Amino acid sequence: MEDKYVAVIEPVIGIIRVFKHDQVAMVDPYEFSATVLYSENGEVAELAGATSKGGISFIHFREAIFKELYRLGVKHLKWNRRSKNRDKRYVMIDVLSYLERRS
């Protein structure tokens, strides 16, 4: 029988969790969590609904997040930032360029 159609499942959403280096993922409590929305065939990831233990800033988790996104083939990370007057703007960062600057 000849196939007339091909089906492909494209992951469009996930959850990223960041654990302390000496902790066991999915066993110990996580330090940071966010919903990850994929677009552009998985090359762009957007963080939404980010939350951290004790209100610790995203900056502390940034490198671990970028390394995981790079491992998954994500090329750009974007997220929504709000200014002090609550204006919204999107930030877009090239994952590889960020990691190269950190090396």
Residues 23-62 have pLDDT tens digits of 988 889 999 999 999 999 899 999 998 888 888 888 899 9
> At CA 100, angle to CA 65 and CA 14, rounded to 5?
20
Contact 12, 37 (CB under 8 A): yes
For the entire predicted model, the pTM comes to 0.82
Amino acid at 12: V
Domain with residues 13-102, CATH architecture: 3-Layer(aba) Sandwich (3.40)
Predicted pLDDT at 11: 79
Helix (H, G, I), strand (E, B) or coil at 35: strand
Per-residue model confidence (pLDDT) at position 43: 95
Once rounded to an integer, what is the mean pLDDT over residues 72-83? 90
Domain residue ranges of the chain, discontinuous segments joined by +: 13-102
pLDDT of 98 = 95
Asked if 96 and 75 touch (Cβ cutoff 8 Å), the reply is: yes
Percent of the residues in the chain that have a pLDDT greater than 90, as a whole number: 55
Contact call for residues 32 and 55 (beta carbons, < 8 A)? no
